């Protein structure tokens, strides 16, 4: 069996690895590290949770042990799709450079440019960044990439999903042609394959698992959920989720709940908190400080349930996660593999449960096709005993009552108006003498002969007393007002 001591790593790196408690490399590490140490380009394909991060951090530290960084010119570059993954890679470097004198800088959004500029100005050996923030620094003239010797692209397929491929291609063009490139991904989409063919030179391809496979140590189940009514789907689905959490009992040490939309992340987190569960949300719209605090609390065990968007689906390493709940079937089948990969890490057992609505059955079929097996079905636990679903129904009923009442009140307000219109006397039925002249100027206009006579007399006076007209004039007719004729003459 291969050990880390057999991989020709720097003795200082081996000492740091031993302090971290590792002796035997994973298959992706055993295949990628020797090729990287030889200076070859590497294309690593492995399912999530297999130790891809150490596959490039350990050889990078060994290769960079000799040399010195210059101001604004990093010696190596690691690109990550999300802030959380970039921060995790930075933590790995801190762990493995414990006895090495290498400097690093983390360039992610949500952090002051000034602090990052100060680190770059001093010179760094390792630059870890998200593509957007890296290009921001470059365009501001604060960074040069001409000194990059080793470039790593982590979670390349996630870069594709997030639309970073044009940025990746631009960053590649800013680095030297002689660089060493390490590409790591859990899946290999056609677009990713095109980039590897363009920017990698005769890479050593390390594929330790069939593309987009799920770990055999993860028990998977699905609940085929059908709401009683369309407008109750959200509340009933959250009731199913709570019932699933309760059914796991003490076996659920901590868990991650994935939602497709950020708004659903907030709604589910608030619903769980309202019902007494220890839960908090994390997604891209939250402040970076809040995201960091939430992740730290989850890692340290102070938070039991993390409700997340796909920002937490890639690369986040919390070894003790016991459960993953897919509140929504992911729109991309590959995301399912990454989501459930948050559990069952480092050889541990894990459990993944998904809720599938009728509208998601097409995406669910794509998931089963991708992983190559049928996911066992579970009975809906919320319908046992009839506790949760009636609760959701009552909530909807109470919300609907005010709407019905408001409609009835609006009808009542409308009816008198209609009756009033019906009771209005018509002009040919009302004698002229019965309409008092004093009330006419301020009263609402009514269709009476007396009112029309009053309007005519007022009209006559406004025209200089030319006398009453026997018939009411509608529009201008054949008469052209003087002011209009004058305006045309002026032109």
pLDDT of 447? 44
pLDDT of 475? 57
141 burial level (CB within 10 Å; 0-12, 13-18, 19+): exposed
Tokens of 98: 């414990």
Write out the chain's pLDDT in tens, 491 residues.
588 999 999 999 999 999 988 889 988 999 999 999 999 999 998 876 678 889 999 999 999 988 888 889 999 999 998 888 898 899 999 999 999 989 999 999 888 899 899 999 999 999 999 999 999 999 999 999 999 999 999 988 888 877 888 999 999 999 999 999 999 987 777 888 888 999 999 999 998 865 556 667 889 999 999 999 888 999 999 999 999 999 999 999 999 999 999 899 999 999 999 999 999 999 878 887 888 889 889 988 999 999 998 776 665 667 689 999 999 999 888 788 888 888 887 668 899 999 999 999 999 999 999 888 899 999 988 776 544 444 433 343 333 333 444 444 444 444 444 444 444 444 444 444 444 444 444 444 444 444 444 444 444 444 444 444 445 555 555 666 666 666 554 44
Q: Are 96 and 13 in contact (CB under 8 A)?
A: yes
4-207: CATH topology: Rossmann fold (3.40.50)
What is the 3-state secondary structure of the chain? Answer: CCCHHHCCCCHHHHHHHHHCCCCCCCHHHHHHHHHHHCCCCEEEECCCCCCHHHHHHHHHHHHCCCCCCECCECCEEEECCCHHHHHHHHHHHHHHCCCCCCCEEEECCCCCHHHHHHHHHHCCCEEEECHHHHHHHHHCCCCCCCCCCEEEECCHHHHHHCCCHHHHHHHHHHCCCCCEEEEEECCCCHHHHHHHHHHCCCCEEEECCCCCCCCCCEEEEEEECCCCCHHHHHHHHHHHHHHHHHHHHHHCCCEEEECCCHHHHHHHHHHHHHCCCCEEEECCCCCHHHHHHHHHHHHCCCCCEEEECHHHCCCCCCCCCCEEEECCCCCCHHHHHHHHCCCCHHHCCEEEEEEECHHHHHHHHHHHHHHCCCCCEECCHHHCCCCHHHHHHHHHHHHHHHHHHHHHHHHHHHHHHHHHHHHCCCCCCCCHHHCCHHHCCCCCCCCCHHHHHHHHHHHHHHCCCCCCCCCCCCCCCCCCCHHHHHHHHHC
Q: Are 447 and 427 in contact (CB under 8 A)?
A: yes
CB burial readout 437-447, b (16+ within 10 A) else e: eeebeeeeeee
pLDDT of 103? 92
Cα separation, 361 vs 370, in Å, equals: 14
CATH H-level, domain 218-394: superfamily: P-loop containing nucleotide triphosphate hydrolases (3.40.50.300)
Residues of the chain with CATH 3.40.50.300: 4-207, 218-394
pLDDT of 216? 77
pLDDT of 483? 64
Cα separation, 403 vs 409, in Å, equals: 10
Q: In angstroms, what CA-CA distances link 361 with 132, 260, 264, 357, 440?
A: 35, 15, 19, 7, 70
């Amino acid at each position: 069996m291969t050990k880390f001591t057999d991989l020709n790593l720097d003795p200082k790196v081996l000492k740091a690895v031993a302090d971290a408690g590792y002796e035997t490399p994973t298959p992706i590490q055993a295949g990628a590290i020797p090729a990287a140490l030889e200076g070859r380009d590497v294309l690593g394909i492995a399912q999530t949770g297999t130790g891809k991060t150490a596959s490039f951090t350990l050889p990078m530290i060994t290769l960079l042990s000799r040399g010195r960084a210059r101001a604004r010119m990093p010696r190596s570059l690691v690109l990550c799709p999300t802030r959380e993954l970039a921060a995790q890679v930075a933590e790995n470097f801190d762990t493995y450079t414990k006895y090495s004198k290498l400097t690093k800088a983390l360039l992610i959004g949500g952090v002051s440019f000034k602090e990052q500029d100060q680190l770059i100005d001093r010179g760094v050996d390792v630059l870890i960044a998200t593509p957007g923030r890296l290009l921001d620094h470059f365009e501001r003239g604060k960074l040069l990439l001409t000194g990059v010797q080793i470039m790593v692209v982590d979670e390349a397929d996630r870069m594709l999903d997030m639309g970073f491929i044009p940025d990746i291609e631009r960053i590649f063009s800013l680095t030297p042609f002689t660089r060493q490139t390490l590409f790591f991904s859990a899946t290999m989409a056609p677009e990713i394959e095109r980039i590897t063919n363009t920017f990698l030179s005769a890479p050593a391809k390390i594929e330790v698992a069939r593309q987009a496979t799920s770990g055999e140590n993860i028990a998977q189940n699905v609940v085929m959920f059908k709401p009683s009514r369309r407008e109750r789907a959200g509340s009933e689905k959250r009731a199913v989720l709570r019932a699933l959490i309760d059914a796991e009992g003490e076996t659920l040490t901590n868990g991650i709940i994935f939602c497709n939309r950020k708004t659903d992340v907030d709604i589910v987190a608030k619903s769980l908190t309202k019902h007494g569960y220890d839960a908090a949300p994390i997604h891209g719209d939250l402040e970076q400080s809040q995201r960091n605090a939430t992740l730290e609390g989850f890692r340290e065990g102070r938070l039991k349930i993390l409700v997340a968007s796909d920002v937490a689906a890639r690369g986040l390493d919390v070894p003790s996660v016991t459960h993953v709940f897919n509140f929504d079937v992911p729109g991309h089948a590959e995301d399912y593999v990454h989501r459930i990969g948050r559990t069952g890490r480092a050889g541990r057992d894990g459990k993944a449960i998904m809720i599938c609505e009728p509208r998601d059955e097409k995406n669910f079929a794509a998931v089963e096709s991708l992983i190559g097996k049928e996911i066992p079905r579970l009975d809906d636990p919320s319908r046992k005993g009839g506790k949760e679903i009636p609760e959701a129904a009552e909530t909807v009923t109470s919300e609907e009552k005010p709407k019905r009442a408001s409609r009835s009140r609006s009808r009542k307000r409308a009816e008198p108006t209609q009756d009033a219109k019906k009771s209005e006397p018509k002009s040919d039925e009302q004698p002229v003498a019965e309409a008092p002249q004093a009330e006419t100027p301020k009263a609402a206009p009514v269709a009476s002969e007396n009112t029309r006579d009053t309007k005519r007399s007022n009209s006559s006076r406004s025209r200089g007393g030319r006398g009453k007209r026997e018939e009411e004039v509608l529009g201008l007719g054949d008469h052209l007002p003087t002011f209009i004729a004058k305006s045309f003459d002026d032109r």
